[in-house]
Amino acid sequence: MPSIRKPLIPLAPHPTNALGLTVRDYEGAMSTLCAGCGHDSITAALVQTFFELDTPPEMIAKLSGIGCSSKTPTYFVSGAHGFNSVHGRMPPIVTGANAANRNNLYIGISGDGDSLSIGTGHFVHAIRKNVNMVYIIENNGVYGLTKGQFSPTADVGSTTKRGVPNEVPPIDPVELALSLGASFVARSFSGDKKQLIPILKAAIEHHGFAMIDVISPCIQFNNHQGSTKSYKYIREHELNEIDSVFLRSSSQIMAELPTDSRVSVTMHDGSLIAFRTLPENYDPRNRTAAMNYIHEAKAKGEVPTGLLYVESEQPDIHDLNRTTSKPLINLPLEKLCPGKKELDRFQESFV
Amino acid sequence: MTQQLDLNQKNSGNGPHRLLEKVNDFAIRFATVNGTGSASANNLLLKAMFRMGVPVSGKNLFPSNIQGLPTWYEIRINGSGFTSRANIFDLVVAMNSQTYETDIASVRRGGYLIYDSSWFIPPGLVRDDINFLGVPFSELFAEEFPESRERILMRNIGYAGVVAAAVTMDLDVISELLDETYSSNERIRNSNHRALELGYNYAMENLDCPLPIRLERMDKNSGKILIDGNTATALGCVYAGATVAAWYPITPATSVAENFTKLCSKYRTEKVTLEDGTTEMRNNFIVLQAEDELAALGMVVGASWAGARAFTSTSGPGISLMNEILGLAYYTEIPAVIIDVQRTGPSTGMPTRVQQADILECAYASHGDTKHILLFPADPEECFRFTVQAFDMAEHFQTPVIVLSDLDIGMNDWVVDRLDWDDNYKWDRGRVLSAEELEAIPKFYRYADEDADFVTPRTLPGVSTKGAYFNRGSGHDRLGGYTESPEGYTQVVDRLAKKHKAAANYIPKSAVSLKDGARFGVITIGSCEAAVKEAIDRLDKDGLPLDYLRVCGFPFPDEVKSFIDSHEMIAVVEQNRDAQLRSLLILETESPPAQFRSVLSYGGFPISADDVATGLLNELKD
């Protein structure tokens, strides 16, 4: 993907975070996506999130598949390692990387075609393995780089730019993830940074696979009258009833825990998600309730957003495999190779 | 019953076609039904023969099925050490009436057929040039073992007893093996002993034992082990320090990953104290059963990118799927070790039959210009050594290395030298920059600063922002940036071509043996070795001296080209239809095609010395 270095314009001093870094330190190359692309807003939300969480840039590993969405890891945290892999195959790459070094923070950026067409098999199995990662689907309902074909999330009845309707039922990544037992499922809208940033923070701290489906309109090919993934359509049909805040440390929890918090979920590392508003009778820890809520909203033509489901104690890939707590890459050969004496002993059963 | 007795009297082993005495030089075939537990009996005999110090091989010709289909096991005993697969058998143990016709046909003239005389053999199948030795297995074992499953299993041990008596095996050796195998279960141990003796005693009393085909103790197996290639490969992965394995179940490679898991559970678990003071066993490895082979290699590449030694094991169909990630790893220069235990293709092919038909696919796997490093082990000992070397080469050259084993090596037991290990082994992790090394350089560029092997330094995620780069399968220049420029692109891919060439210096030396006056050369690969060496020995005695070279890897080291250049004619022996090794040799050494002949075996059974000798004679006679 073409990338352009950002010009360094000295502005008024930026505020710094606990690591002494500014927001600029979490930025990447200039985006080469179309002006107004929803993906750029997600990139901006990620930059803000890492800055606010004081994430060491070198601990971030950003991986993607192929497509417009998969270009975006170039546009944030230039001090992080990036891996733009092949179409649909990002989940196994992250699975392997996470297996090797559990200490990095793995951010996977994918699109609706990447995750739900060519890479569906990988997406669902990364969920089953509960790979500890943030998985963002930048969902715009079309193949942008190849100029506007329907993707598997295109709704029945939505049309191409030229007016041809889609007749094939869509795959909803939120419903798919919930049915597969995903431990963290959210939907957001690229146009709503206020909602997206707390979700991203919680996803980063979540121990396990955190799936965020972000509706992210394609300004070129899917922002027209017949689209159900346009800015206008989402603004008109979004059902935004779940409001959550993320509180990272005990001091923040003490100081900022909203008095109107209805439900709170303690995360694996002690941080907290407080749900300030929720639909009636909704519990974000109840998978069945979440699924019903989504079904009902969809039947009414609404697009529910927010942190829909979270289960903070589900064992992740390393818990399931009883892996040592150290990253495997740090184990010296002496710990891994049983040595000559043991080889001789082992071969006694082969004589 | 009367008809059967007649048959026995007529062919008591003393008839006109009685074999001449053959000591430590014969072949036995066992025909059974799969899923009946015959493998234990066959392995028992093989191991007992091995312990008697005689060179021996066992080939399992099994169906792609769990229960109920015909299966064969073949043992070749040869005091001179020629143990490639035999085409015709001195003794056939026919325990499967479904296959009587083929089994009876596979007996050498004058040879022996042991069968269950509780039942009739259709008169049309009776040959008068072989000896029928009837043993009423069903009747004998029905009395002794009333429970049906046990009866089926013990009948197999029973035929082992009959064979032991027939070919003069040391019963103590077999008994001792049974004691070792069933040391923890007295009941099963006793049943096995009873079954063995029942067969042995019946044969001694009722058949003309011993037959003229006889085993005699030798001392050819000291310092040797009897092991299958997949176990040795898995050991190689453990000893090389691999921590991440990702795989998808596939015959005949499954036992690589399964053995790796088993070995790691034995050697790589550690008691750790948790935060709350309790202790727990934790693994210093991870085995990922992937959703498919494509994902398996994706996981390997992810793990290698993050800095682990990682591998996958598969067979041809898996390699087909892995092409996409092979191209990615090649172009982005990420190490990966792939074990390909080859089977018969194309497509599903014959999953339980052998071929060496992935050579070309592996050499150039993936779209675009790609060339991979391949290693070709010939037996389990080389599986162990070459696998360790594969990890060193993959990390040194930052590229995938494919170890091309096959079903014959991987799943059959071979007599090989003991595996050796040097405790001073240092793993070659290649050029990976540490945080300190990064500090010392002004700026890091991923694909610049190549060394003598055309390798550039890499960095790992989680180390330093200074080492951060964007790994991309899209066009990139020597600085690691995205490019669509012809110069930027070609600079990188030209270096990749040179890097592949440089790997030739690291490929294991070819196995070579030369004969005085040889005008022609024979080149072969992998598991063909035993058959080719035997054929060359035979032809030499017949007055046709031939030079021999076995290639151990690709890119080909210089000695391969010199060998070709120094012979009028080269015959390439391999196990595929299209002469893939021959093609690769012609392409990569730029030798004239007319200089080459081919001897091919690709029906799915391991190649035999007879096939090779006949083929070489046809191709190389004046």
Same domain? B141 vs B279: no
Same domain? B68 vs B201: yes
Name which of A1, A122, A336 is nearest B268 (Cβ-Cβ). A336
Choose the mutation target among A72, A86, A103 for the interface with B, i.e. most B CBs under 10 Å. Answer: A86
CB contact under 8 A, A323 and B461: no
pLDDT of residue B42: 97
Closest CA to A274 of A244, A309, A249: A244
CB contact under 8 A, A81 and B459: yes
Chain B residue whose CA is closest to A334? B241
What are the tokens at A188? 């957001």
Choose the mutation target among A328, A341, A348, A349 for the interface with B, i.e. most B CBs under 10 Å. Answer: A328
Distance from CA of A98 to the nearest CA of B (A): 7
Percent of chain B exceeding pLDDT 90 equals: 94
What are the tokens at B418? 């003991």
pLDDT of residue B15: 53
Residues 6 or more apart from A335 whose CB is under 8 A from it?
B270, B284
Contact B221, B415 (CB under 8 A): yes
Q: Are strands B22-23 and A81-84 parallel, antiparallel or unpaired?
A: unpaired
Residue B17's pLDDT band, with cuts at 50, 70 and 90, is: low
CATH number at residue B151: 3.40.920.10
CB contact under 8 A, B241 and A1: no
pLDDT reading at B14 higher than 60: no
> Does A1 contact B at CB distance below 8 Å?
yes
Distance from CA of A5 to the nearest CA of B (A): 11
| Cβ under 8 Å to B: A residues 77-106 | 78-86, 89, 91-101, 103-104
Cα(A163)–Cα(A224) distance, rounded to whole angstroms? Answer: 9
Name which of A58, A124, A324 is nearest B283 (Cβ-Cβ). A324
Q: Distance between terminal CA atoms of chain A?
A: 58
**Which chain A residues are Cβ-neighbours of B173 within 8 angstroms?**
none
Residue-number span of the structural domain to which B566 is assigned: 511-620
Cα(A189)–Cα(A351) distance, rounded to whole angstroms? Answer: 66
Q: H or E element: which one contains A125?
A: helix A120-129
Question: What is the count of residue pairs from A and B with beta carbons less than 8 Å apart?
Answer: 228
Same domain? B527 vs B500: no
Domain boundaries, chain A: 23-247+277-330
Choose the mutation target among A30, A324, A326 for the interface with B, i.e. most B CBs under 10 Å. Answer: A324
What are the tokens at B366? 């993936």
Q: Write down the ipTM of this complex.
A: 0.96
Kindly state whether residue B444 falls inside one of the protein's structural domains: yes
Distance from CA of A252 to the nearest CA of B (A): 24
Sign for the pseudo-dihedral over CA of B417, B419, B422, B427? positive
CB contact under 8 A, B283 and A125: no
CB count in 10 Å sphere of residue B146? 9
Residue B614's pLDDT band, with cuts at 50, 70 and 90, is: very high
Cis ω before B555 (30° cut-off from 0): yes
What residues in chain A have per-residue pLDDT under 70? Answer: 1-3, 7-11
Distance from CA of A128 to the nearest CA of B (A): 10
Name which of B281, B301, B468 is nearest A81 (Cβ-Cβ). B468
Residue B254 — φ and ψ, nearest 5°? -50, -40
CB contact under 8 A, A343 and B421: yes
Return the exposure string of B502-529: e unless at least 16 CB atoms fall within 10 Å of the residue's CB, then b: bbbebbbebeeeeeeebebbbbbbbbbb
Q: Helix (H, G, I), strand (E, B), or coil: what is residue A70?
A: helix
Same domain? B520 vs B499: no
Angle formed at CA A227 by CA A224 and CA A228, multiple of 5 degrees: 140
Choose the mutation target among B225, B322, B465 for the interface with A, i.e. most A CBs under 10 Å. Answer: B465
Q: How far is CA A311 from CA A135, A170, A177, B514, in A?
A: 16, 26, 13, 69
pLDDT reading at B186 higher than 60: yes
Cα(A331)–Cα(A334) distance, rounded to whole angstroms? Answer: 8
Cα(B8)–Cα(B28) distance, rounded to whole angstroms? Answer: 20
Distance from CA of A117 to the nearest CA of B (A): 15
Same domain? B519 vs B501: no
Alpha-carbon torsion angle A269, A316, B339, A338, nearest 10: 60
pLDDT reading at B188 higher than 90: yes
Same domain? B576 vs B488: no
| Cβ under 8 Å to B: A residues 115-134 | 121-122, 124-125, 129
What are the tokens at B305? 């990118």
Cα(A81)–Cα(A67) distance, rounded to whole angstroms? Answer: 19
**Which chain B residues are Cβ-neighbours of A337 within 8 angstroms?**
238-241, 425
CB contact under 8 A, B474 and A84: yes
Question: Residue A299 — left, alpha, or beta (φ > 0 → left; ψ -120 to 50 → alpha)?
Answer: alpha
> Does A320 contact B at CB distance below 8 Å?
no
pLDDT reading at B5 higher than 50: no
pLDDT of residue B381: 98
Contact B257, B247 (CB under 8 A): yes
For the stretch B499-554, pLDDT in tens is 999 999 999 999 999 999 999 999 999 999 999 999 999 999 999 999 999 999 99
Name which of B225, B240, B308 is nearest A100 (Cβ-Cβ). B308
**Which chain B residues are Cβ-neighbours of A72 within 8 angstroms?**
none
CB count in 10 Å sphere of residue A102? 21
SS3 of B277-293? CCEEEEECCEEEECCCH
Cα(A57)–Cα(B465) distance, rounded to whole angstroms? Answer: 7
> Does A346 contact B at CB distance below 8 Å?
yes
Q: What is the C-alpha R_g of chain B?
A: 27
Chain A residue whose CA is closest to B299? A96
Domain A23-247+277-330 is in which class?
alpha beta
Choose the mutation target among A24, A64, A351 for the interface with B, i.e. most B CBs under 10 Å. Answer: A351
Same domain? B188 vs B276: no
**Which chain A residues are Cβ-neighbours of B226 within 8 angstroms?**
350-351
pLDDT of residue B10: 42
Kindly state whether residue B394 falls inside one of the protein's structural domains: yes
For the stretch B563-605, pLDDT in tens is 999 999 999 999 999 999 999 999 999 999 999 999 999 999 9
What are the tokens at B335? 């190490």
**Which chain A residues are Cβ-neighbours of B381 within 8 angstroms?**
none
Return the exposure string of B32-67: e unless at least 16 CB atoms fall within 10 Å of the residue's CB, then b: bbbebbbbebbbbbbbbbbbbbbbbbbbbbbbeeee
pLDDT of residue B13: 47
Cα(A141)–Cα(A139) distance, rounded to whole angstroms? Answer: 6
Cis ω before B63 (30° cut-off from 0): no
CB contact under 8 A, B462 and A58: yes
Name which of B242, B295, B460 is nearest A92 (Cβ-Cβ). B295
Chain A residue whose CA is closest to B271? A324
Q: Share the mean pLDDT of chain B.
A: 95
Residues 6 or more apart from B448 whose CB is under 8 A from it?
B456, B478, B479
Mean pLDDT across B37-56? 97
Same domain? B469 vs B376: no
Q: What does B201-266 look like in DSSP terms, one character per residue?
A: HHHHHHS-PSPSEE-------TTEEEEEHHHHHHHHHHHTT--EEEE---TTTHHHHHHHHHHHHH
Same domain? B403 vs B294: yes
**Which chain A residues are Cβ-neighbours of B325 within 8 angstroms?**
86, 89
Same domain? B351 vs B481: no
Q: Helix (H, G, I), strand (E, B), or coil: what is residue A280?
A: coil
B257, β-bridge pairs: none
**Which chain B residues are Cβ-neighbours of A343 within 8 angstroms?**
235, 239, 419-421
CB contact under 8 A, B299 and A93: yes
Distance from CA of B41 to the nearest CA of A (A): 17
Same domain? B245 vs B204: no
CB count in 10 Å sphere of residue B2? 6
Same domain? B299 vs B390: yes
pLDDT of residue B2: 35
Kindly state whether residue B207 falls inside one of the protein's structural domains: yes
Kindly state whether residue B222 falls inside one of the protein's structural domains: no
Cα(B413)–Cα(A176) distance, rounded to whole angstroms? Answer: 47
- How many domains does chain B divide into? 4
Residue B310 — φ and ψ, nearest 5°? -135, 150
Choose the mutation target among B288, B428, B444 for the interface with A, i.e. most A CBs under 10 Å. Answer: B288
Q: Helix (H, G, I), strand (E, B), or coil: what is residue B300?
A: helix
Cis ω before B457 (30° cut-off from 0): no
Out of B461, B489, B505, a domain closes at B505
**What's chain A's length in residues?**
351
